[in-house]
Structure 1
């Protein structure tokens, strides 16, 4: 939230001004009334075919009054039941149906809140646990089920594949917290259900097959390696739970370009230190330590920190000298 620190807009760049403006407006909306509107649904009968039209009639802008975008707040919809309208023109378009869009993390969080799954503090953790256990994976900001996740859906009891059971448990836990239910009875019920689920899996003729196994073997324990997607690219990890061996499948690319083909060079760590390599041209260059540069944000912080001291100049060089002198003292 905005603080009591005075703001000097001339010291902010264009992007920082936009961010500051967004934060201040969002903060001010907390003190505005609710946004009120009504949705009017109209059913039209045209030559025996039924068409549905929906329009929104804004009753009170409320906190949306701070939004600079244009709204239809001045538009008043006047429709009456049985009123006849004239069809000016008819345009027919032929389109193909599309599959529903993949869920994002925000979509999943909304669904979890709707069905009462988890709490606001644990919902994001649940999604991360699903990602770490490799039943879900991120692809371009969307969540996709993995072959492992699809198999598990077919292997477990149907009660475990719907949100109804978890929502029921959450409701019973809430009743226990309010003193309306018995905690001991609830735990006995959980134990009985867990035993039943495990017993069904043990006696089932279905089996789990690991989909992401590779032909390579772990150099430490001899088990097969499996491929895993991470934020930093694909890695190979040991399929044995008792072994923690892992390595990158593909070399890490750097921002350094090859002087011949201008493609990104691979970065490696050798005996002599870090080096860059282009496999196409077989060009190898040793990595050199770059001097740390100061950005505009750090420069402004230095200016604000030492500008109160009138014994120093106003240039950045004078301020850096002041900082070095204070560190020596």
Structure 2
């Protein structure tokens, strides 16, 4: 008998639908027509044992016990799902062959493997265990996956990576949450100060940004724009690019801070003759962006519809499990296997029937085109999120479901549209010893961009295209001149036809005075972007270099839950679309050692965990240094005084006999270790974020 073990009941039923009939429903399993059986987990059936499982004294929170580092790790059966574990244990013993049908990711792999291992399966049966990777719950796709089973041993590194992550999260969360909470109570804080290797640096990103904004001091900076006239009496505008000789009068972002310098430039060039020093123009093509993975989908949905990361994930799970309209949503991959290319006609037909807004786009698609998205070498356990071949009436979908489906479908359709083409032109001129640059970008062929709303046009200021103060970089790389441009810098006015060596005359020069602006508060979109592009926030150059390839903290499956976790613990709150730190969150981060509130350490962990999954690092090479670093952090945090938290917080503790505090932190400090994070939790934070002095450097 073959036993197929799915990650959840919905996946189990999808597997059974692809196997021979008739089916007989049992209690927690389905027997199919040929005698094989499909059963399932209900998420994790096992969990890391509580500290008191290693020593009864650990039930009481005490600094004397720290660090708690198990010598032999234990898993416990979760009480709520003990019945289903018992069902699986019996079936595993009866089965001749086992098939792991966990979701195609790190968590899905370990979730099934840990059950099999906990049941003490004989070595021979363990070696014979198969792996089924399912990313599309429609019956035809499931059948294809069942016909392409692989050896489960191929995925041992993936399971090892998940195991290392779970144990590291336990060690970091249990020990530092207990220590911080006890230190907080000594300072008069009522509540739990939960700490996690992902949640705490993520909170740190928000806190440091908020404090940077609060402490920001605006400074004026200056730009010079000139009007140049050719011999043919054609005029165009250009922007001054300061030379290296001006660096003493500029900030780190290349902005000129000296008004006198800018006025001197104007005096030197007004009415003076100049010369064209260089003319460059080229036709360029821009290929369509790749299909979505979960993070890029969440970012776009947040920008377009104001949905939180968790809302997007929940909608995707419904589209995947209930409606079967999209493929596996928790994917970190943006590429597609070549075999899916042959299904394009069926998929696009389903899009047209499901989403009326895209029916015209479907008819205009050229299914003979093949973008770089189709690349087997870039696909591992799962592929990008795309629509399935199933169609249904869009009227049956909720507004959020229809919106998210449309995003996914459009991103798939643009793979069958030609590149976006544009002309890029630049004229460099020298007047009075200064360099002035004029740029122009013109659309030649819209290509795939025709499927997207037209970008808004920027309004001109004093007749010139002036970038916003927050993004200006001293004229380097920005469009010049009075022409109106869209958000991408495309023009509706053209530069004249000139050649290198042609003379020009400066007929006018203007000084533009602007103010530096603080960075913006995080939103759902930008915070997710920070998590996936964490290298931008890492200070260690060596770690930054490593992270350029293995970028990101958290996983596709856990990021939404980690963000929600910080809201539920009243470390973050919302103000409109902005995400801000509460006073509790600010005081926690500014009291802890810097390494805990910055992403360098956890980002480095993520890169090492990825290395384990790729067979480039061993479990012990990750865990031993991690434990050594934990001991050092415990010493540092032991000296912390959370004075700023006095009188804040609400105690969630309940007495547990003489054992003292309920062991809330053991489960509550997983930092997104569970796949769903804090399911269903809503932000209850009402504490208003107030200022305190930041240890982060000021930025202007």
- TM-score normalised over the length of structure 2: 0.26
Provide the rounded CA distance (Å) in 2 between the counterparts of 1:188 and 1:87. 67
Q: Residue 108 of structure 1 is aligned with which of 487, 508, 527?
A: 527
CA drift of 1:6 comes to 9.7
Q: Residue 183 of structure 1 is aligned with which of 616, 619, 623?
A: 619
For the 8 Å contact 2:584–2:648, the answer to whether it is kept is no
Q: Residue 209 of structure 1 is aligned with which of 626, 632, 644?
A: 644
For the 8 Å contact 1:102–1:142, the answer to whether it is kept is yes
Larger Rg: 1
For the 8 Å contact 1:59–1:73, the answer to whether it is kept is no
Note closer, same or farther for the CA distance 1:153–1:32 as it changes in structure 2 (3 Å cut).
Answer: same
Greater mean alpha carbon deviation, residues 118-127 or residues 192-201: 118-127
Is 1:96 the equivalent of 2:515? yes
Partner of 2:610: 174
Note closer, same or farther for the CA distance 1:68–1:175 as it changes in structure 2 (3 Å cut).
Answer: closer
3-state DSSP of counterpart to 1:131? helix
Partner of 1:122: 558
CA drift of 1:4 comes to 3.5
Larger fraction in helix: 2
For the 8 Å contact 2:523–2:579, the answer to whether it is kept is yes
Note closer, same or farther for the CA distance 1:203–1:213 as it changes in structure 2 (3 Å cut).
Answer: closer
Is 1:197 the equivalent of 2:633? yes
CA drift of 1:47 comes to 4.3
Is 1:62 the equivalent of 2:447? yes
Deviations 1:198-218 (A, max 9, x none): 1111134x324326749x999
For the 8 Å contact 1:57–1:73, the answer to whether it is kept is yes
Provide the rounded CA distance (Å) in 1 between the counterparts of 2:631 and 2:436. 53
Provide the rounded CA distance (Å) in 1 between the counterparts of 2:623 and 2:501. 59
Q: Give the count of matched residue pairs.
A: 219
Is 1:29 the equivalent of 2:414? yes
3-state DSSP of counterpart to 1:87? strand
Provide the rounded CA distance (Å) in 2 between the counterparts of 1:166 and 1:91. 49
For the 8 Å contact 1:37–1:58, the answer to whether it is kept is yes
For the 8 Å contact 1:104–1:143, the answer to whether it is kept is yes
Provide the rounded CA distance (Å) in 2 between the counterparts of 1:163 and 1:38. 40
CA drift of 1:166 comes to 1.5
CA drift of 1:92 comes to 3.1
Q: Residue 144 of structure 1 is aligned with which of 558, 565, 580?
A: 580
Note closer, same or farther for the CA distance 1:100–1:184 as it changes in structure 2 (3 Å cut).
Answer: same
List gaps (5 residues or longer) in structure 2. 1-324, 326-350, 360-394, 456-485, 535-550, 656-681, 688-700
Provide the rounded CA distance (Å) in 1 between the counterparts of 2:646 and 2:437. 47
Greater mean alpha carbon deviation, residues 75-84 or residues 119-128: 75-84
Provide the rounded CA distance (Å) in 2 between the counterparts of 1:146 and 1:182. 40
| Alignment RMSD (CA, Å) | 4.6
For the 8 Å contact 2:440–2:491, the answer to whether it is kept is no
CA drift of 1:104 comes to 0.9
Note closer, same or farther for the CA distance 1:107–1:40 as it changes in structure 2 (3 Å cut).
Answer: farther
Larger fraction in strand: 1
CA drift of 1:80 comes to 6.2
Q: Residue 155 of structure 1 is aligned with which of 572, 586, 591?
A: 591
CA drift of 1:66 comes to 3.1
Deviations 1:175-214 (A, max 9, x none): 100111011221122222112111111134x324326749
Note closer, same or farther for the CA distance 1:35–1:107 as it changes in structure 2 (3 Å cut).
Answer: farther
3-state DSSP of counterpart to 2:570? coil
Partner of 1:254: none
For the 8 Å contact 1:176–1:183, the answer to whether it is kept is yes
CA drift of 1:101 comes to 1.7
- TM-score normalised over the length of structure 1: 0.51
For the 8 Å contact 2:567–2:685, the answer to whether it is kept is no
For the 8 Å contact 2:573–2:686, the answer to whether it is kept is no
3-state DSSP of counterpart to 1:119? coil
